[in-house]
Every structure is written in C-alpha cells, then in structure tokens.
Amino acid sequence: MLIRTRRRSEANPSEITPREVYQRRRDFLRGGLALGAGLVLPAAGQGSAALEYTPGSFSTDEKPTPYEDVTTYNNFFELGTGKADPARNAHLLTTEPWTVVVDGACSNPGRYALEDFLRPWELEERIYRLRCVEGWSMVIPWVGFELNRVLRKAEPDGSARYVAFESVLDPDNLPGQRRPVLEWPYTEGLRLDEAKHPLTLLAVGLYGDALPNQNGAPLRLVVPWKYGFKSIKSIVRIRFTEVEPTTAWNLAQPNEYGFYSNVNPDVPHPRWSQRTERRIGELRRRRTLMFNGYGDEVAHLYEGMDLKRYF
C-alpha cells in the first residue's frame, strides 16, 4: 500500500473545484475506503494523504501531463463546450448522494451506492495515455479499479453481448444539458469482451486524489485504446444489452463517430487525419499509434474485423 502525497508543483484541486465540494468528496472517499478495507486513514486536514492505492499493471512510464492541464483542459459538454468551461462550471455538478444502477441482461441487477463499488476492492493507480479524437493527447495517472469487477458482481446472462453506460441527467443544474448539443443523457457502449478487458478501468480519482468534477466525478470510464469520448464521465447507469447500444456521438454524427472508435491512424476522421497528435504541453506533433499503443493487449479483440468498416 502506498499513500501518495501531492508534489508542490501540482495545482491544488481546491483551486479549481470550490474547496468545500472537493473536501466533502475526499472525506467521503476516505470514509468509504476506511470502512471497507479496515484501514485507518488520516482525518481530513491532517497531512496530505489522498486516496490509498497500489501501483497497478499496464502503466506507461511516459511523463504524466501536469495536473493543471489534466483538470483545466476538458471535454465535458454537460458543463459547457469550451475546454475551460468544465473546470469553471464544475461546482454545478452535484455528486452526493450518488448511486449507480446496474441492470439489463444480468442475474444481479441493483442500485449501488458509490461506497458499494469502493469497499470491496483495492484501488490501483494506472498511468494511461488518453488520445482525443480532436488530435491531442495526455498521460493521466488514474486511480480506480477494473470495470470487470462490477461486471462479475452483476453476473451478465448468456444473452448479454454489450454494456451500455449513461451519464448523469440534471438539466436544471448542468448548463450544457439545456442546449441540444448532444442527445442527453450522454451515452456510451462497449462490447462485453471490451468491457471485461483488464485495461478497462472505472476511475474514482486522478493524481492520487478524488476525481475533480470536471474529470467525471465521482465515477468515470477509462478505455485507453479508444478515442477519449468513449471514456464516459459521471456514470449513473451500467446496463447489459443483447444489441449494440446507441451512443451520444454516434447519434449526433454517425459518419464521424463509430461504435468502436478504436484509436487508428489509418482511418482518418472524415474532416481530418488521425496520423499524428499533440501531447498537451508539447509543441511538436507525435505519431499516433494503433490502438493508442495498447495493441499488444487488445488487437486480438478485433481479429478478422475490417477496422475501416467497424471504425
């Protein structure tokens, strides 16, 4: 077990999220963890211990993107379409109480509180690359656990072939949802084998602390070999389906955003190339890698598929 402390150079999340919102979330996560794991963590305000986690597998050794960039350059259309909007409007997202419905084709449907997800399992840090379809990328130290743990608990039926995800719907408070930018709530989906893959993470934190609202608090998906928009934020529902679920971006522009959305330098977006990307904080562009560099782990999932057709 490792308790990470914040480096001085990293921005304090309380500078971005109003202090009381951030502090409540952090206390809550600590409480849940302490109860579940029998751990005694320092009380709020004592030292700077954050989430408790173990270093996980699959991490890249590339340099993480600075905390400041990870938390102020975001896509979270519920909080606005500008890159700075989500951090500015982060306080409008209410994350307590938070429940997640797990339903559809499974033997163990239910409504789970966030603590139910956190208690039984240790959190891991996974440093993953995130490649946005817009042509920029980051390296983010996530804290979370494999989605497959939730799937196993739910026991999908033999008929389940996909997993559908839904984000929070709260147009009274989320300004973006009062505009028809996308079909709300934001939805995403994975094939069941993609969802079960050990790289697929449910994140509850980054840089060793609870997720800031603008990054999808309190629970968001991270699928590192797919374009960033597949990593749905602020999840309230996980549903097993027999047929391919609709997704927000596919509904909005089906010729531009396919269901699979695997990072693929050989399949251009209809309006721009995907051959290169700019790592946030760097000037030069770098070559985009097939499956965002996770090919050894995931290429077998797509054997025999025409990835130009199933883009």
> In whole angstroms, how close is the CB of 307 to ligand MTE at the nearest point?
20
220 is in an annotated binding site: yes
> In whole angstroms, how close is the CB of 110 to ligand MTE at the nearest point?
22
Cα–Cα distance measured from residue 295 to residue 266, given in angstroms and rounded to the nearest whole number = 14
Residue 175 burial (CB < 10 Å; 0-12/13-18/19+)? middle
167 is in an annotated binding site: yes
Which of 221, 247, 223 is CA-nearest to residue 235? 221
Residue 95 burial (CB < 10 Å; 0-12/13-18/19+)? buried
Which of 143, 178, 135 is CA-nearest to residue 30? 143
**Which residue lies nearer to ligand MTE by CB, 26 or 237?**
237
**Which residue lies nearer to ligand MTE by CB, 105 or 132?**
132
Cα–Cα distance measured from residue 258 to residue 220, given in angstroms and rounded to the nearest whole number = 20
Residue whose beta carbon is closest to ligand MTE: 228
Torsions phi, psi of 25, nearest 5? -60, -40
Binding site for ligand MTE (CB under 6 A): 74-78, 130, 132, 167, 186, 215-216, 228-229, 231-234
**Which residue lies nearer to ligand MTE by CB, 129 or 197?**
129
Angle at 215 between CA 284 and CA 116, to 5 degrees: 140
> In whole angstroms, how close is the CB of 232 to ligand MTE at the nearest point?
5
231 is in an annotated binding site: yes
232 is in an annotated binding site: yes
> In whole angstroms, how close is the CB of 68 to ligand MTE at the nearest point?
13
> In whole angstroms, how close is the CB of 221 to ligand MTE at the nearest point?
8
106 is in an annotated binding site: no
**Which residue lies nearer to ligand MTE by CB, 49 or 274?**
274
DSSP assignment letter at 262: B
Cα–Cα distance measured from residue 225 to residue 216, given in angstroms and rounded to the nearest whole number = 19
59 is in an annotated binding site: no
**Which residue lies nearer to ligand MTE by CB, 137 or 162?**
137
Annotated binding site for Mo-molybdopterin: 74, 132, 167, 215, 220, 231-233
Residues annotated within a binding site: 74, 132, 167, 215, 220, 231-233
